[in-house]
Structure 1
Amino acid sequence: MEIRMAVTFLRVAELGSFSRAAEQLGYSQAAVTVQMKQLERELGTQLFERIGRRIRLTEDGARFIPYAQELLKAARNARTFVQGARTPSGRLRIGTAESLSISVLPPVLLQFHRLCPLVETSLHTGLISELFDMVRQNHVDLLYFLDKKTDFPDWIKVFERPEPIVFAASASHPFAGRDHIPLEEVLAEPMALTERGVSYRYDLEQMLAAEKLELHPFLETGNTDIIASLLLRHRRMVSFLPQYVVQKQVRAGRLAVLRVDGPRLQMWSQLVYHKNKWITPQMQAFLELMRRTVGPDSGEA
């Protein structure tokens, strides 16, 4: 059995399509079909049901997945042994939320470049539903996102870390340093928010709806860096953001986290990859770096 057939099998099983697997792997659809028929002959069983345009795993096909994964793992370990301590090279594709790409990842990416200078890293941002699709379609190697605790059977979670979501304003705002600020008073201030559909924005809207309150921001943008900059320039402006977005400026005494009465919202930053993903040396290096520098036991607050 050839390694490439195991790779092709796992990609077809993941995507449920010979044509899409062929496109991602750089084969013709006919080549994928030939490989899968050859694999079925070698195993002496049918791995896929082909009914019209629908491709589904048979029971034997589903049972073969862990064996194909072990085969690829053995091949990867053998290659790593042969290559020894050679510096990782190639591509690394990371799907992430824009707020994380702006506030958390830059120092990690710089350190990663120093450790793995031959790796070409690309960031792909989007809303949470778009990010989930990126993982499923193998458009990214790793996903680092912010949401409620989320687990899918096809994902391997490397770590998760709690991330408080807070009301923030300039340190010179009249509310700064004040306790028990009524939520209604905060909502009456000029407000800039992230776009609708962002996880914590949605939860805030649901929380307010339960209290018969509404949001009326004067600005919506997906770029949290713009919002943080506006908070510094506009004394009366308020926003609702992950604490990590404003943490540096809060420590510097330029922004303040407002102590608002009402329910507290918390999301989780989570690092995952698809269970069928072939872990490249550059992926392994980045995962280890993230555990050390960003993970829940890293000492970051």
Structure 2
Amino acid sequence: MELRTVATFLRVTELQSFSRAAEQLGYSQAAVTVQIQQLEQELGTQLFERFGRRIQLTEHGLQFIPHAQELLRVAQNAKTFIRQGAQPSGRLRIGTAESLSISVLPPILSAYHARYPLVETSIHTGTIPVLFDMVRRNDVDLLYFLDKKTDFPEWNKVLERPEPIVFVAPADHPLAGQQQIPLQTILAEPLVLTERGISYRYDLEQLLAARGLELHPFLETGNTGIIVDMLLHHAGLSFLPRYVVQTYLESGALTILSVDAPSIQMWSQLVYHRNKWITPQIEQFLSLMREHIGTAQQPDQTL
């Protein structure tokens, strides 16, 4: 049984497509088909059911996934043993929310590069639906996102952390220091907000709608860095994850407003597809994230 064929099988299971697997692996679709057929012959069972252009894992195909992963893991361990002291190399692709890429990831990525300079890391940002699709298409290796607690059976969750969402203003704003500020008072102020559809803005809109209120920001942008700059220039108030403004809260430049409204909380979550082959560079990044973020939840797959 060739390891290359096993790796092809896992890539097809990740993408649920022979053609996309062929494109990512640099093979022709016919070559991928032949490899899967050879593997099925060796195992003496059918791994995929084919419905025109659609494929679906058979029961034996599902059962073979952990064995295929173990075969590649053993092979990787053997290579590591032979190349003792060798640094991880290759690619690491991370899909993430824009706010996390600006506020949370930079020190982690800096530490990662210092430890593993041979790894080429790329960051891909987008909305939650876009990021979810990227994981399913294997366009990214890991997904680090902000949303309500989210669990899908095809994902392994490595960690999660509660992230409070707060009303924030310049420290010398007239509302700073006041307690239980009415929502109507907040809405009367100039607001700089993230775009519609962002998870925490959506929850705020629902909260306001229940009270017959609406948001009318004077500026909307998907870039939280721009929003923070606007606040620092006394251009209004905003509603942001606390991690976005933590540095400025500590320096005294910005302050959290006490608002008469239920608190809204999201969760930062790090996941990968359950069929994903965990390379050394991915494994080391997951380890570093645990060091920096925590170990709220461990993945099902042993790394």
| TM-score scaled by length of structure 2 | 0.95
Tell me the distance in 1 between the aligned counterparts of 2:35 and 2:24. Answer: 15
The corresponding residue for 1:257 is: 256
Tell me the distance in 2 between the aligned counterparts of 1:296 and 1:141. Answer: 19
Q: Following TM superposition, by how much is the alpha carbon of 1:67 offset from its aligned partner in structure 2, in angstroms?
A: 1.4
The corresponding residue for 1:247 is: 246
The corresponding residue for 2:12 is: 12
Check 1:291–1:35 CA distance in 2 against 1; reply closer, same or farther (3 A cut): same
Q: Is it true that 1:45 corresponds to 2:45 in the alignment? A: yes
The corresponding residue for 1:232 is: 232
The corresponding residue for 2:299 is: none
Q: Any residues of structure 2 matched to 1:159-238 within 5 Å, and which?
A: 159-234=159-234, 237-238=236-237
Check 1:57–1:296 CA distance in 2 against 1; reply closer, same or farther (3 A cut): closer
1:146-201 CA deviation, whole Å, 9 max, x = no partner?
11111111211111011000000101111111111001110110001101111111
1:261-298 CA deviation, whole Å, 9 max, x = no partner?
1110000111111122121121111111111112267x
Q: Is it true that 1:292 corresponds to 2:291 in the alignment? A: yes
Contact 2:194 2:220 in 1 (8 A): yes
Q: Is it true that 1:108 corresponds to 2:108 in the alignment? A: yes
SS at match of 2:178: coil
Check 1:284–1:14 CA distance in 2 against 1; reply closer, same or farther (3 A cut): closer
RMSD of aligned alpha carbons: 1.2
The corresponding residue for 2:130 is: 130
Q: Any residues of structure 2 matched to 1:88-107 within 5 Å, and which?
A: 88-107=88-107
Q: Which runs of 5+ in 1 are unaligned?
A: none
Tell me the distance in 1 between the aligned counterparts of 2:89 and 2:15. Answer: 27
Give the residue type in structure 2 aligned to 1:286: F
Say how many residue pairs are matched. Answer: 296
The corresponding residue for 2:301 is: none
Tell me the distance in 1 between the aligned counterparts of 2:187 and 2:17. Answer: 49
Q: Following TM superposition, by how much is the alpha carbon of 1:108 offset from its aligned partner in structure 2, in angstroms?
A: 1.1
Contact 2:13 2:275 in 1 (8 A): no
Give the residue type in structure 1 aligned to 2:90: G
Q: Following TM superposition, by how much is the alpha carbon of 1:112 offset from its aligned partner in structure 2, in angstroms?
A: 1.0
1:182-235 CA deviation, whole Å, 9 max, x = no partner?
011101100011011111111111111111110001111010010011001025
Tell me the distance in 2 between the aligned counterparts of 1:162 and 1:218. Answer: 29
The corresponding residue for 2:117 is: 117
Tell me the distance in 2 between the aligned counterparts of 1:268 and 1:78. Answer: 38
SS at match of 1:65: helix
SS at match of 1:162: strand
Tell me the distance in 1 between the aligned counterparts of 2:276 and 2:14. Answer: 10
Tell me the distance in 1 between the aligned counterparts of 2:68 and 2:295. Answer: 32
Give the residue type in structure 1 aligned to 2:178: R
Structure 1 runs of 4+ aligned residues shifted over 4 Å read none
The corresponding residue for 1:270 is: 269
Q: Following TM superposition, by how much is the alpha carbon of 1:62 offset from its aligned partner in structure 2, in angstroms?
A: 1.8
Contact 2:134 2:140 in 1 (8 A): yes
| TM-score scaled by length of structure 1 | 0.95
Contact 2:125 2:131 in 1 (8 A): yes
1:81-107 CA deviation, whole Å, 9 max, x = no partner?
222121111111111110011111111
Moved more, 273-282 or 242-251: 273-282
1:1-23 CA deviation, whole Å, 9 max, x = no partner?
11111111122222221111111
Tell me the distance in 1 between the aligned counterparts of 2:84 and 2:271. Answer: 27
